[in-house]
Amino acid sequence: MSRALQSIGRSAIGWLLPALLLVGWEIASRAGVISANVLPAPSAVGAAFWKLLLSGELLENIRISTLRALSGFAVGGAIGFGLGLANGLSALSRGLTDTTIQMIRNIPHLALIPLVILWFGIDEEAKLFLVALGVFFPIYINTLLGIQGVDPQLVEMGRIYGMSRSQLFVRVILPGALPSIFVGLRYALGIMWLTLIVAETISASSGLGYMAMQAREFLLIDVVVLSILIYALLGKLADTLARYLERLCLQWHPAFQNA
């Protein structure tokens, strides 16, 4: 009982500072220390949230942005994971593709935006392409590193006990690579939102980034701040889900056992 309370207390303490900041911000706005056309009061942002929620505009934009993020993630993540596995398991595949991938990696994917607009216009493909490209590298590299880092002594043990190639993969190699794959996953989720924000801000006719840019044109600063906050919340949500999944899959890991 007191233990449960203690753990609630411990997670609550992290929210103390943000709450204080929020209160301070509201007070400063009302006192006129922060001008409303620099940063609107939290209550004004709250009002904008309520209005957009009622009109359905907000949920629709969140839906569109989330869909874009997830589909780009699925495509880039799947390719990155597949190539990471292939290159981790086969020296031939690695020899064939790794150098090329490492070369492409040196191009910041956001630098491709002008080119991508020329190719796809401002259609969905443009966003999908950019997000997929951004997500691909962290997943690819961490899957590859994870597989290369699997303890060769364990692999040898699996062979001694007569595991087939697929048994060896499922029981030894994949679980061994999983901690590293999760690092890649969480990093990729961050990149996913970042890429989407930039892409939607520059070229879109719907979605959260578009909503923010529209609001900027009409000087609706409360909506601009609201979009930024929602981006932050979505990012946090994705990271929390990934952490939860990580905790679930890596129960065996000493790092997750005392929590």
Partner 1 sequence: MTAATITARQSFTETTARATVTAQERKIAFSFRNVTKRFGDKTVLQGVDLDVHDGQFVAVIGKSGCGKSTLLRLLAGLDKPTSGELVHADETKDQKRTRIMFQEPRLLPWARVGANVDVGLTGIAKGVEVRKKSLDILAEVGLADRSEEWPSVLSGGQRQRVALARALVGHPSILALDEPLGALDALTRIEMQQLLERIWLSKKFTAVLVTHDVAEAVALADRVVVIDSGRIALDLPIPVERPRRHASPELAFFERQILDQLYKQKTP
Q: Which residues of this protein are in contact with partner 1, per CB under 8 A?
A: 153-154, 156-158, 160-163, 167, 171-172, 175-176, 178, 250-254, 257
Check: CB of residue 227 under 8 Å from CB of residue 212. Answer: yes
Residue number with CB closer to partner 1 (167 or 205):
167
Which of 11/251 has CB closer to partner 1? 251
| Shortest spacing between CB 176 and partner 1, in angstroms | 8
Q: Which is nearer to partner 1, 56 or 152 (CB)?
A: 152
Helix axis angle, 221-249 to 174-202, nearest 10°: 170
State residue 31 phi and psi, 5-degree precision. -80, -5
* Shortest CB 102 distance to partner 1, Å: 30
Look at residues 67, 87, 203 and name the one whose alpha carbon lies nearest to residue 136.
Answer: 87
Which of 143/203 has CB closer to partner 1? 143
In the bound complex, what is the minimum distance in angstroms from residue 146's beta carbon to partner 1? 13
Least Å distance between CB 248 and partner 1?
Answer: 12
Q: Which tokens go with 10? A: 């411990």
What token pair was written down for 209?
A: 């980034």
State the Cα–Cα distance between residues 125 and 119, nearest whole angstrom.
Answer: 9
Distance, in Å, from the CA atom of 182 to the CA atom of 249, rounded to the nearest integer, reads 10
